[in-house]
Chains A and B, each alone.
Chain A
Amino acid sequence: EVQLVESGGVVIQPGGSLRLSCAASGFTFEHYGMHWVRQAPGKSLEWVSLITWDSGSTYYADSVKGRFTISRDNSKNSLYLQMNSLRPEDTALYYCAKDIGRKGDYLDLWGRGTLVTVSS
């Protein structure tokens, strides 16, 4: 079964750092680009970041550029999101999503998400 399972979400104070993980199974992880997408409570979806299949290129939303870093370990079938200088507006459910292609085509599979709450 093709599956994406996110972890690492917690309640954290503003200014703190956090690393989210996404474990992939059921498909050849190293063949596909991967995304992070977030959804604040009761709000729309917001794309966060994309990493290509070989980590050769990364892209970020303006709202997180310079604070978040996406990475992957193809040997571990895992995707990561390092989040620094967290703000209350970063509070959201963070989804890991698979791309249909290697370098960014469209998102075809989503995990269930992990909740990050930034609050003092």
Chain B
Amino acid sequence: QSVLTQPPSASGTPGQRVTISCSGSNSNIGTDYVYWYQQLPGTAPKLLIYRNNQRPSGVPDRFSGSKSGTSASLAISGLRSEDEADYYCATWDDRLSGPCWVFGGGTKLTVL
């Protein structure tokens, strides 16, 4: 059971806009930035969005992130077949035992 809750799947057709949600609590998303990672089949995760809505160099502006309260979202516009991947949200969770980086359960995006 992941600390951050994501829908297990999402889908869209080429050119569509899809959004993936990530729900947390006051001890994680509510008090820290949210990050998004893309994991293409058979590869390592890649940073997609940092500090809620910033894109690393090389990430297309079709990808955007947002955060409100204890929830966050990743939006992908102009969907392309190469966007088919697993997407994970992540952040720090403030625990009594010390900081802990936590991931969502992941959302498998299918491009129909």
Contacts and interface: CB of A to CB of B under 8 A. Distances in A.
Interface of A: 35, 37, 44-47, 50, 59, 61-62, 65, 95, 100, 104, 106-113
A106 B35 contact: yes
A33 to B, nearest CB: 11
State the majority secondary structure of interface residues on A: strand
Contacts of B2: 44
Interface string B97-112: 1111111111000000
Interface of B: 2, 33, 35, 37, 39, 43-47, 50-51, 56, 88, 90, 92, 97-106
Contacts of B106: 44-45
A108 B103 contact: no
Contacts of A108: 47, 50, 56
A44 B105 contact: yes
B103 A47 contact: yes
18 contacts: A35-B101, A44-B88, A44-B103, A44-B106, A45-B39, A45-B45, A45-B90, A47-B101, A47-B103, A50-B101, A59-B100, A100-B50, A107-B90, A107-B101, A108-B47, A110-B44, A111-B44, A112-B44
